[in-house]
Structure 1
Amino acid sequence: MQRRTIVATLALAATATLVLSGCATGAGSNGSEGGGEPAAGDEYGLVEAGTLTVCSDIPYAPFEFEGDNGEYIGFDIDLLTAIAKELDLKISVQDVGFEALQSGTTLAAGTCDVGASAMTITEERKANLDFSDPYVDSLQSLLVRSDSDIKSIDDLDGKNVGVQQGTTGESYANENAKGAQIVQYPSDGELWPAMQSGLIDAILQDQPVNYVHEQDDSDYKIVETYNTDEQYGFAFAKGEKDELLEAVNGALKKLQDNGEYQKIYDTYLGVK
């Protein structure tokens, strides 16, 4: 998205790290071995040798969320897990606030190697971040209650419209939802409950995320989508991870060519 207008849900200082199990490419492939060989990925200047440390704003289904077994999963997470495997690395995921992530603060601090949080590539963000090649296209969308009299963005005058702070959804709402009261939330984890409890009349955010809500609860529906030519990219600290960025782009291209990317896409973003 130009991603959602999102305000970080969790303070960076309270970030929790969860190492995904089952992401290693094989015993002995991550870390130094008996012969004193360097750990995989040392050439990339990783936060932890042998591990690709990923920062993401969770939950934001279907891109990143907690699975039934407590592990972080989703399109972004699964795709980066596959990329890490191509690079002979494990993966570790930290839950951080989106605002600090999209501004470049989190990555500049060296908290993680890469940001993966359905982040739209924009010229403004490129001033503080380096981005991978685009890995998915997205639309913005308007979600309302099924019995709502809101049929389009033109019906939002006087309505409370929820957005995620710092996202492209917020930007789109500010520019196009004339007369609406724009209400910011840190993440979809607060935005969706606000909708369910009646605090807001609509949600304007990335179509894949609203689509999950629509599929999970028939009391809600998407009434409009908006083509904003948005593309997501994985984010890196500006000018600091050139070798890793190149390696991630190469692995992404390989996964797109061999069909693995499409399998992950169909799992989370295919129309059901």
Structure 2
Amino acid sequence: MQCGRPYDGATAAPAGKANPETTAPSGAQPTQFKRGIAIAIAAAAVVLVAAVVALALFVLGSGDEASEVDDAGKTKTESVETKDEAKTESDTGDAEGTVGGFGMGSSSAAPSASDENAFIVGFDGDYPPFGYQADPGEDGYLADNGQTYTGFDLDLAAEVCNRNGWTLKVQPIDWDSKDAMLESGEITCVWNGFTYDNYQTQYAWSDPYMYNLQVVVVRADSGIYSLSDLAGKNVVTQDYSFAFDLLEYDDSYTAIAATFNGGGIGTVGSYTEAFDQLEQGAVDAVVCDSGTALQAMADHPDAFMQQDETLYVEHYAIAFAPGQEGMAQTVSDTLREMDADGFVEELCAKYEGDVAYSDWCLRN
């Protein structure tokens, strides 16, 4: 609405001329004069009403403009608040998903499993260098149990999530419960130095990404140098591990394994426990993955040694529930990209002495 001087409803008479309807002509009859007065009064009333209406419209128009300004101001404020809220939410999201170096770092809160983008990694929380509890002050990934974990496989998973827009959630598990948790959907995958076996059809496998060896670790002063030297010795491995299956079912080892511990293979809940027993002299040897062996020898310089004899050459892969072949392929493709752009080699250097880039087998 354009605003100007309000129209007063009257028609101005030309200069020097009287308005014939409001001025009584000379010699006019009284009735005519009264009629003229009545007309004049009516005209004045019309003018007054018109003026009031015009004034009201003007006031309303000004109010509308003021309202528009207020609304505009309010809209702008709301817009700023929305941006601030968005920034806060973004900052919060970054804090939860951001990790320093190699896409990792500390987080104040673990992502919720109800997040539809959550990628929940089930892993053995005591399986260095692939997944283990971080030292105080060390960057890592916060789990629901309040503990922070780190490791080579967790760092890989974090970068895969970063590149696919997923939210990493780490879930330490008992190794013997992995299948039930995978089937129930409590975890998205099992990713933690998991030996690939294409005969295990209860999983949708990623492509194998690392070579691995099954080896024997003994005390450096034990005098045990070969597999045959282990006959009748106390030998342990982890519960439900590939090493246990190898010794129990592979014809190459069942005979000597039957002599271990006075009648069979000894098992423990974790390799940390196994190497503690080895250091204390409670057992004579530990059968484990080569990466775990390297980590143990790094943690106990000059105390342990690995036998030259390799029991088995295998691969690591990531296990998903049946029906998740598409997810498994996406992860495999992302790992190939990470190798192609140098991320994997750089990450292996971070774990130098425990993980060798030469063992990486998933390449374009």
Measured against the shorter chain, the TM-score band is 0.7 to 0.9
SS for the counterpart of 1:105 is helix
| CA apart distance, 1:187 | 1.8
| CA apart distance, 1:243 | 3.1
Structure having the higher strand fraction is 1
Q: Which amino acid aligns with 2:304?
A: Y
Q: Which amino acid aligns with 2:356?
A: G
Range with bigger deviation, 50-59 or 221-230: 221-230
Partner of 2:216: 142
- 2:150 is the alignment partner of 1:73: yes
SS for the counterpart of 2:307 is strand
Q: Which amino acid aligns with 1:270?
A: A
RMSD (Å), alpha carbons: 2.2
- 2:327 is the alignment partner of 1:247: no
Tell me which of 127, 131, 146 is aligned to 1:60.
127
Partner of 2:116: 49
Partner of 1:32: none
SS for the counterpart of 1:162 is strand
- 2:203 is the alignment partner of 1:117: no
Q: Which amino acid aligns with 2:128?
A: A
- Work out the CA distance in 2 between the residues paired with 1:76 and 1:47: 23
Q: Which amino acid aligns with 2:217?
A: L
User: Do the aligned partners of 1:23 and 1:85 also contact (CA within 8 Å) in 2?
Assistant: no
| CA apart distance, 1:180 | 2.1
Tell me which of 173, 177, 187 is aligned to 1:100.
177
Larger radius of gyration: 2
- Work out the CA distance in 2 between the residues paired with 1:139 and 1:242: 26
Tell me which of 22, 29, 34 is aligned to 2:98.
22
- Work out the CA distance in 2 between the residues paired with 1:89 and 1:209: 29
Instruction: Go from structure 1 to structure 2 and tell me whether the alpha carbon gap of 1:189 and 1:207 turns closer, same or farther (over 3 Å shift).
Output: same
| Residues 75-116 of structure 1: per-residue CA shift (max 9 Å, x gap) | 110001111111012211011011222xx2220011111111
Structure having the higher helix fraction is 2
- Work out the CA distance in 1 between the residues paired with 2:207 and 2:277: 34
Partner of 1:4: none
Normalised by the size of structure 2, how large is the TM-score? 0.59
| CA apart distance, 1:71 | 2.5
- 2:164 is the alignment partner of 1:87: yes
- Work out the CA distance in 1 between the residues paired with 2:235 and 2:317: 27
Tell me which of 151, 163, 168 is aligned to 2:242.
168
Partner of 1:214: 297
- 2:225 is the alignment partner of 1:151: yes
| Residues 143-167 of structure 1: per-residue CA shift (max 9 Å, x gap) | 1111102111110111010111222
- Work out the CA distance in 1 between the residues paired with 2:96 and 2:318: 19
| CA apart distance, 1:185 | 1.1
Tell me which of 219, 224, 235 is aligned to 2:319.
235
Higher relative contact order (CA 8 A, sep 6+): 1
- Work out the CA distance in 1 between the residues paired with 2:306 and 2:260: 18
- Work out the CA distance in 2 between the residues paired with 1:23 and 1:216: 25
User: Do the aligned partners of 1:56 and 1:116 also contact (CA within 8 Å) in 2?
Assistant: yes
Identity of aligned residues (%): 24
- Work out the CA distance in 2 between the residues paired with 1:123 and 1:242: 13
- Work out the CA distance in 1 between the residues paired with 2:134 and 2:96: 11
Partner of 2:310: 226
Unaligned ranges ≥5, structure 2 = 1-94, 104-112, 138-146, 358-364
- Work out the CA distance in 1 between the residues paired with 2:208 and 2:290: 17
SS for the counterpart of 1:226 is coil
SS for the counterpart of 1:139 is strand
Q: Which amino acid aligns with 1:166?
A: Y
- Work out the CA distance in 2 between the residues paired with 1:191 and 1:171: 17
